[in-house]
Amino acid sequence: MPDAPPDARALRPASQIERLRQRAGGAAVELALRGLAATARAHPRARAAFRSVAVERDVPYRPTGLAAHRLDVYRPRGARRGLPVLLHIHGGGFRILSKDTHWLMGLGFARAGMLVFNVNYRLAPEHPFPAAVEDVSAAYRWVVEHAASWGGDPSRLFVAGESAGANLTTALTCAASFERPEPFARAVFETGVVPRAAMPFCGLLQATGTGRFDVPPFVRDRLKVIERSYLGEAPPPFGTAFADPLAILESDATPARPLPPFFAPVGTADPIADDTLRLKAALDRRGVFCEAPLYEGEPHAFHAFVFRPAARRCWNDAHAFIDRVRNTR
């Protein structure tokens, strides 16, 4: 097990030049990704694919009226009841993007025959940790309670997400399996439902200590921003365990309920690929099945670029994994 990561608030304060560079870099990344998502959605193939999937948008899962507390429901048209259910959690470094930029994931999983709940959550730095975990925990409970009314089978619930969403996916899985004191974790545990499988794609699975990665300056800036903004200035209640779900799995803590199988794909050129390798090692040590395919030369979140052959292989591998485990007991 690696040494305990340094607390996020122990990082050297960013200089004014660093902050300006980091802010500019973050804005450029968000603008590029939002533009790419909008352009892809207008593609004729995407419009054709949506004809096989019914979408209901902006369903509230918490009664706050906030856009952050809404989700979209993707359901295969003409599907029977008893569909396997998937809760999808978008990435974006806990700071940017939304369910609307991640429509492709909802569409892709629904076309594989799943009832998909694609969820928003509150974003840092305005809402630092544990706001995102609190929200996805509330969404998990809501999906367990309401999936049947949409034709889903909550006993066959999958959780998936990429990057920051992979962190939150792993956190939810830990909350469902380990009996913990955090109120949001108890809310998940008390549903009595452990995910049929967890699917963290290219995850940042430990939000603290991002200096552990040997990466170029631009990427280092992004990781510093993520760590500082997500962890916030004040000590978070109940500590940072659920900001670092990988550390929970690397610990000697015994789960109250068996952990489910994991599917954790990553590209070999992903600068944070080491977190996925550590996840695989931790689960192997625990005797938990983890399929962690490596895609040679692929960058971070490569599976979103479905025009790439490796992305299509990844989606095929994900669907094959779902087919293998969704009917197991």
**pLDDT for residue 31 is more than 60:** no
- pLDDT by residue (tens digit) across 32-62? 555 555 545 545 565 556 689 999 999 999 9
Instruction: Outline where 232-308 has alpha helix (H).
Output: 245-250, 273-286
Say yes or no: domain 8-325 is CATH 3.40.30.10: no
Confidence of residue 79 (pLDDT cuts 50, 70, 90): confident
pLDDT at position 10 is 41
pLDDT at position 7 is 41
**pLDDT for residue 67 is more than 50:** yes
Share of the chain above pLDDT 70, in %: 84
Tokens describing residue 235: 């000590």
* Cis peptide bond prior to 217, omega within 30° of 0: no
In whole angstroms, how large is the CA radius of gyration of the chain? 18
How deeply is 143 buried, as exposed, middle or buried, from its count of CB atoms within 10 A (0-12, 13-18, 19+)? buried
pLDDT at position 233 is 86
- pLDDT by residue (tens digit) across 239-298? 999 999 999 999 999 999 999 999 999 999 999 999 999 999 999 999 999 999 999 999
Instruction: Outline where the chain has alpha helix (H).
Output: 16-41, 44-50, 103-111, 131-146, 164-177, 183-189, 217-231, 245-250, 273-286, 309-325
Angle at 276 between CA 272 and CA 277, to 5 degrees: 105
Distance CA 247, CA 4 (A): 8
Distances from the Cα of 111 to the Cα of 52, 75, 161, 199, 202, angstroms: 7, 8, 17, 17, 22
- pLDDT by residue (tens digit) across 166-181? 999 999 999 999 999 9
Tokens describing residue 144: 């367990």
Cβ atoms of 261 and 325 within 8 Å: the answer is yes
Which residues, 6 or more positions from 183, have their beta carbon under 8 angstroms from its beta carbon?
A: none
**pLDDT for residue 186 is more than 90:** yes
Angle at 87 between CA 85 and CA 91, to 5 degrees: 150
In 3-state terms the chain splits into helix, strand, coil percentages (rounded to 5) of 45, 15, 40
Tokens describing residue 109: 């999983």
Tokens describing residue 84: 């396997």
Mean pLDDT calculated for residue range 148-153: 97
